[in-house]
């Protein structure tokens, strides 16, 4: 089998790695000039750590990342509730979410893939494809046409592979502008915890530590640092920006010999930190299905998983970012109640870790 993977993000690199460790030849292409430097996804859930164990990537991630100890909720700068993590689940073997910038996760995946003999060709853009029952012919930016047994479109939210298949990406775009800042800071109050700050006028600002004295701040307002009510002593802003969010999912992850994985197949808000993890799980399932030959299983299983994750993420986003005073009051009351009960805290922690 000879497989082309379009996109060297977490989904594409995991697909390449999982195929390579099964002895299947896979080539990854990316239109970028080299590895990414963006720290987008910072939360690696226990399921991803378990899935990346057989390829030997997990120990490096554990070595480089910070184990999240708790999720701390604030109303403005006033603490509301603390949900300790570390609730063990024998199915996954890990009881924490790991905080690591996405570029470091991608570097670990990329090194493991090339270490197994896999090839990554940067500066190479997918342009179009034509398929029949035997193979897929792919045209690249250098004008050459190459033939593969299968193609995996892991080329992100604006997927050209999805466009070449003429597939709809049904869903909707959220109207609001979100913001992100990657900062160096001194003496942050919660260096091993995820902080969710419910803003007095509605909305949220969240903080995830991503290194020693380095944090990521995200808000559903146009200025994450300005809106963060819990005081933070920022010594340097490494990167700042704004982004918008779409909530979408393709109806079918498979079209003949071409598969979609990761953001090319589904996207939603960063609330819950599931996007990258969903793509990693897609890629692992797809590699197993390509090896076993049960190709329809991939679309069936991963579409259902994607739909469930999108529903969960949207439910939590709507609750956490509500501006309606009654809904905000309900959210805070639930948090205060949960914070007082060990049983409820553990249930909520299980949702963060394994939901
Ligand atoms: C601010 C922010 C915070 C986030 N936080 C989290 C989090 O905490 N946890 C989490 O799980 N997720 C998070 N996410 C989501 C996560 O970043 C994405 O879900 C993830 O990057 C998707 O991975 P992917 O491999 O599917 O696509 P991408 O990472 O987008 O990679 C696609 C690759 O395809 C390449 N490409 C595109 N078109 C072509 C072409 N025509 N030819 C060749 N190459 C092409 C691109 O250059 C790119 O390298 C966050 C996202 C954002 C924006």
Name the closest-CA residue to atom 21, ligand 1.
276
Give 29-74 pLDDT, tens digit per residue.
999 999 877 778 899 999 999 999 999 999 999 999 999 999 999 9
pLDDT at 58: 97
Statement: residue 77 has pLDDT above 80 = yes
Average pLDDT, the chain: 94
Ranges in the chain annotated CATH 3.50.50.60? 2-64+100-173+246-318
Task: Find out whether 105 and 44 touch, Cβ atoms under 8 Å.
Answer: yes
pTM of the model: 0.94
User: Which ligand 1 atom is the nearest neighbour of the CA of 208?
Assistant: 8
Substitution candidate for ligand 1 out of 41, 49, 52, 109 with most atoms within 8 A of CB: 41
Ligand 1: centre distance to CA 263 (Å): 6
Site to probe by mutation for ligand 1, drawn from 103, 156, 205, 247 as the one with most ligand atoms within 8 Å of Cβ, is 156
If one residue of 101, 102, 141, 265 were mutated to test the ligand 1 pocket, choosing by the most ligand atoms within 8 A of its CB, it would be: 102
pLDDT tens for each residue of 280-317: 999 999 999 999 999 999 999 999 999 999 999 999 89
Note the pLDDT of residue 272: 84
pLDDT by residue (tens digit) across 315-339?
989 888 888 888 888 888 888 898 8
Q: How far is the centre of ligand 1, averaged over its atoms, from the C-alpha of 337 (Å)?
A: 36
CA angle, 180 as apex, 174 and 182 as ends, to 5°? Answer: 160
State CA 219 to chain mean position distance.
Answer: 17
Q: Which CATH superfamily is domain 2-64+100-173+246-318 in?
A: FAD/NAD(P)-binding domain (3.50.50.60)
| Ligand 1 near 270 CB (within 6 A) | yes
Atom of ligand 1 nearest to the CA of 160: 41
Interval 173-185 mean pLDDT: 93
Is residue 57 exposed (0-12), middle (13-18) or buried (19+ Cβ within 10 Å)? buried
Assign 88 a pLDDT band (cuts: 50, 70, 90): confident
Is residue 126 lining ligand 1, measured as CB closer than 6 Å? yes
Instruction: Specify the pLDDT at position 86.
Output: 84
pLDDT value, residue 225: 95
* pLDDT score of 11 more than 80: yes
The answer to whether the CB of 177 falls within 8 A of the CB of 29 is no
Q: HSE (CB half, 13 Å, CA atoms) of 181?
A: 22
Look at residue 276 in the predicted model and tell me its pLDDT: 96
Contact 174, 247 (CB under 8 A): yes
> Is any atom of ligand 1 closer than 6 Å to the C-beta of 277?
yes
- Give residue 227's pLDDT band: very low, low, confident or very high (50, 70, 90): very high
- pLDDT at residue 214, as a whole number: 94
Counting from 1 in the atom list of ligand 1, the atom nearest the Cα of 161 is 41
Q: Could you tell me if the CB of 42 is within 6 A of ligand 1?
A: yes
Query: Does 29 sit in the ligand 1 pocket, CB within 6 Å?
Result: yes
Ligand 1 contact, 180 CB (< 6 A): yes
Report which ligand 1 atom has the smallest distance to the Cα of 29: 43
- How far apart CA 310 and CA 299 sit, in angstroms, is 16
* Nearest residue by C-alpha to atom 6 in ligand 1: 41
| pLDDT of 245 above 80 | yes
Q: Is 178 near ligand 1, meaning CB less than 6 Å away?
A: no
Ligand 1 center–CA 9 separation, angstroms: 6
């Amino acid at each position: 089998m000879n497989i082309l993977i379009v996109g060297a993000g977490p989904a594409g690199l995991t697909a390449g790695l999982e195929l390579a460790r099964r002895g299947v030849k896979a080539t990854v292409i990316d239109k970028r000039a080299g590895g990414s430097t963006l720290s987008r996804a910072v939360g690696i859930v226990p399921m991803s750590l378990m899935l990346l164990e057989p390829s030997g990537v997990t120990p490096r991630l554990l070595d480089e990342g910070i184990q999240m100890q708790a999720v701390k909720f604030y109303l403005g700068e006033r603490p509301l509730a603390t949900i300790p993590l570390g609730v063990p689940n024998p199915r996954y073997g890990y009881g924490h979410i790991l905080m690591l910038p996405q570029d470091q996760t991608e570097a670990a995946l990329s090194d493991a893939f090339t270490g197994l003999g896999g090839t990554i060709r940067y500066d190479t853009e997918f342009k179009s494809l034509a398929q029949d029952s035997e193979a897929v012919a792919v045209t690249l930016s250098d004008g050459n046409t190459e033939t593969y047994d299968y193609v995996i479109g892991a080329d992100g939210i604006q997927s050209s592979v999805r466009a070449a298949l003429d597939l709809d990406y049904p869903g909707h775009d959220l109207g609001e502008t979100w913001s992100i800042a990657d900062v160096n800071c001194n003496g942050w109050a919660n260096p091993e915890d995820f902080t969710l700050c419910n803003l007095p006028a509605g909305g949220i600002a969240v903080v995830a530590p991503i290194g020693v004295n380095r944090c990521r701040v995200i808000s559903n307002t146009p200025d994450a640092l300005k809106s963060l009510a819990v005081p933070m002593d920022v010594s340097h802003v490494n990167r700042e920006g704004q982004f918008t969010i779409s909530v979408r999912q393709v109806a079918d992850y498979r079209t003949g010999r071409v598969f979609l994985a990761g953001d090319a197949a589904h996207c939603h808000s960063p609330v819950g930190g599931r996007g990258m993890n969903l793509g990693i799980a897609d890629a692992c399932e797809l590699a197993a299905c390509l090896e076993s030959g049960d190709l329809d299983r991939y679309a069936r299983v991963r579409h259902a998983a994607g739909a469930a994750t999108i529903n969960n993420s949207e439910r939590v986003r709507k609750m956490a970012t509500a501006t309606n005073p009654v809904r905000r009051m309900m959210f805070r009351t639930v948090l205060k109640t949960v914070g007082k009960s060990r049983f409820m805290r553990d249930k909520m922690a299980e949702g963060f870790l394994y939901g």
